Structure 1
Amino acid sequence: MLAALNLVDTGARTNEDIFTGASQWSPQGRLFGGQVLAQSVVAATRTVQVERPIHSMHGYFLRPGALEVPITFAVDRIHDGRSFSTRRTQAYQQGLPILSMIASFQTVDEGLEHQKAMPEGVPDPETLADERELLSTIDHPAARFWASGRPFEMRHVEGPIYLPTGGERTASQGVWLRARGRMPDDPALHRAALAYASDYTILEPILRRHGVAWATPGLKAASLDHAMWWHRPARVDEWLLYVQESPTAGGGRGLSHGRIYSRDGALVASVAQEGMTRVPGAS
């Protein structure tokens, strides 16, 4: 992940700043959306003064990304005000946009403060099964990659849905996650990495509600758009709880909301995503 987020600055062109980044292999045969989101965040952040961290982003996935083609990121410096800066990042492969994102940055300020409390009674991550052990027993390229090549460790509170489980059909779940290995101390890098991780399981409450596993033959699921708000600083190499729920699904699409908490209960980020969810035989 760190290699993918280490973008190359190729200089300004007219009113844009241009960066390039590597594509990471993914077992789905297309780029992982969280990777492109995180790289777009890094590109935009490079054009903003360091004392203005990103606080929100809204992105649309326009085309599947190719694994073997590098990505170009063009950043438009839309606005710089006294407290806020706005940037638009377009990610391209072979001249075609694959993601369009707009992001806002704010100088750190003080004001009213409250948050929705972290759910009570959630098991500690150490008490939950290490999913690498489960995935390593599945003879499939995707499972093998998720077991050893994924840059984040994840532990589902209600149990994973990689395979059919027959568990409760509920449109909500909790997932503990953290980066594998120690990350640099750069807060901007941790915010970008959190965007990377936020795309992993956000559509699962939709599938869980209908008893659909990732291994369901013919299942097609893909992120359509993604919004994220950073509320408070957090380290992604420490355990974070990703609380997710889906309020609705229909028309081959589903909507999910997520809240990310640090282990001490601070709400560090909120997420919303709509995704394509097509299941053979679903009415």
Structure 2
Amino acid sequence: MNDALRSLLDLLALERIEQDIFRGESRASVVPRVFGGQVAAQALVAAGRTVPADRPPHSLHAYFLRPGDPGAPIVYTVDRIRDGRSFTTRRVVAVQHGQPVFHLSASFQTAEEGLEHQEPMPPAPDPLELPTAAEMLPRHAERFLAPDVAERLLEARAAIDLRYVDEPPYVTVGEPREPRSQVWFRTQGKLDDDSAIPRPLLDICLVTYVSDMTLLDSILLAHGRGGWAVGDVVGASLDHAMWFHRPLRADEWLLYDQESPTAQSGRGLGKGRIFTAEGQLAVSVIQEGVIRVPRG
């Protein structure tokens, strides 16, 4: 486990300041606001801290309301909507400077048997055959809007080993292609079973954190845009939904298969499926984001 991963785990280990009120630290992202995946993961940790450990989350639905201030802590208030025999529902509001910045609803379920089927895992190369971020980003530093962008991207992803199957959007600017993207990812090191956040909640929250990193890439690919890093679009997450189907481990390779069915009205939709290396469909993700072309 490297220092960046330890720092990320510390970021997710919220301070309980009242029975259902938690406080989390913030840190700067590659853009001048709190990374959306951080807020979503922290909110899910807050919700999960009020639910028995043997009842993991099976879905979440969230809205990003305002940009988060990386220089201030975030307070998470949990509303215990329902505690049923099989399902538990929680609502979380994240507040900074007296204003809500994020809203999440999450549902948790006791494990049970049921009907079983899934889509097959799409083909993808072995992740160990693909370049790491540390190998890829310096190669393309001249493409970025500012000289320090590659360094900021490396720092932001230092806790996660994330490897693109095909060229990322910032490499193929001006070359529209099929709106599909794949990345393999896992944490930079093995996770401890005695973490402050019990497993499987920890694994699910880490996957939630990563799920916001690349989901809108497929929108950019369809139009030959490189994203904020090259300055040809302005973007931000609007809402985010996830369904957790099967067990996973965030410290083992996971394939994030992503596509975009539509973009319009300054917004774009991204859909993702996360598979284990063994081919199990573990998570489904849908996100809508603002995608605007700068004027002038």
- Give TM-score scaled by structure 2 length: 0.90
Contact 2:60–2:107 under 8 Å retained in 1: yes
- 1:69-115 Cα shifts (integer Å, max 9, x gaps): 00000000000011000000000111111100000000111100111
Pair 1:160 & 2:168 matched: yes
* Letter of the 1:211 counterpart: G
* Letter of the 2:288 counterpart: E
Q: How far 1:182 sits from its partner (Å)? A: 1.7
Contact 2:58–2:109 under 8 Å retained in 1: yes
Question: Residue 4 of structure 2 corresponds to which residue in structure 1?
Answer: none
Q: How far 1:43 sits from its partner (Å)? A: 0.1
Question: Residue 104 of structure 1 corresponds to which residue in structure 2?
Answer: 107
Question: Residue 172 of structure 1 corresponds to which residue in structure 2?
Answer: 180
- 1:230-283 Cα shifts (integer Å, max 9, x gaps): 11111111111000010000000000100000101001100000000001369x
List gaps (5 residues or longer) in structure 2. Answer: 1-7, 194-198
Secondary structure in 2 aligned to 1:246? strand
2:237 and 2:74 mapped to 1: Cα distance? 18
- Aligned identity (percent) is 49
Q: How far 1:167 sits from its partner (Å)? A: 4.9
Q: What does residue range 195-214 of structure 1 map to in structure 2 within 5 Å? A: 195-214=208-227
Question: Residue 2 of structure 1 corresponds to which residue in structure 2?
Answer: 9
1:281 and 1:41 mapped to 2: Cα distance? 37
Question: Residue 263 of structure 1 corresponds to which residue in structure 2?
Answer: 277
Contact 1:7–1:19 under 8 Å retained in 2: yes
Pair 1:32 & 2:35 matched: yes
1:32 and 1:141 mapped to 2: Cα distance? 18
Question: Residue 49 of structure 1 corresponds to which residue in structure 2?
Answer: 52
* Letter of the 1:129 counterpart: P
Q: How far 1:149 sits from its partner (Å)? A: 4.0
1:170 and 1:218 mapped to 2: Cα distance? 19
Pair 1:184 & 2:192 matched: yes
Q: How far 1:146 sits from its partner (Å)? A: 2.0
1:78 and 1:33 mapped to 2: Cα distance? 24
The number of residues matched between the two structures is 277
List gaps (5 residues or longer) in structure 1. Answer: none
Q: How far 1:3 sits from its partner (Å)? A: 1.1
Alpha-carbon distance change, 276 to 54 in structure 1, aligned in 2, over 3 angstroms: same
Secondary structure in 2 aligned to 1:162? helix
Secondary structure in 1 aligned to 2:170? coil
Q: What does residue range 1-283 of structure 1 map to in structure 2 within 5 Å? A: 1-12=8-19, 17-120=20-123, 122-137=124-139, 138=141, 140-150=147-157, 151-165=159-173, 167=175, 169-185=177-193, 186-214=199-227, 215-280=229-294
Deviates more, 1:74-83 or 1:139-148: 139-148
2:13 and 2:166 mapped to 1: Cα distance? 35
- Give TM-score scaled by structure 1 length: 0.94
Deviates more, 1:198-207 or 1:170-179: 170-179
CA RMSD of aligned residues (A): 1.6
Deviates more, 1:174-183 or 1:201-210: 174-183
Secondary structure in 2 aligned to 1:264? coil
1:251 and 1:191 mapped to 2: Cα distance? 32
Contact 1:117–1:265 under 8 Å retained in 2: yes
Q: How far 1:50 sits from its partner (Å)? A: 1.2
Q: How far 1:227 sits from its partner (Å)? A: 0.1
2:280 and 2:137 mapped to 1: Cα distance? 31
1:277 and 1:163 mapped to 2: Cα distance? 18
1:141 and 1:270 mapped to 2: Cα distance? 33
Deviates more, 1:138-147 or 1:69-78: 138-147
* Letter of the 1:171 counterpart: P
2:279 and 2:42 mapped to 1: Cα distance? 28
Secondary structure in 1 aligned to 2:273? strand
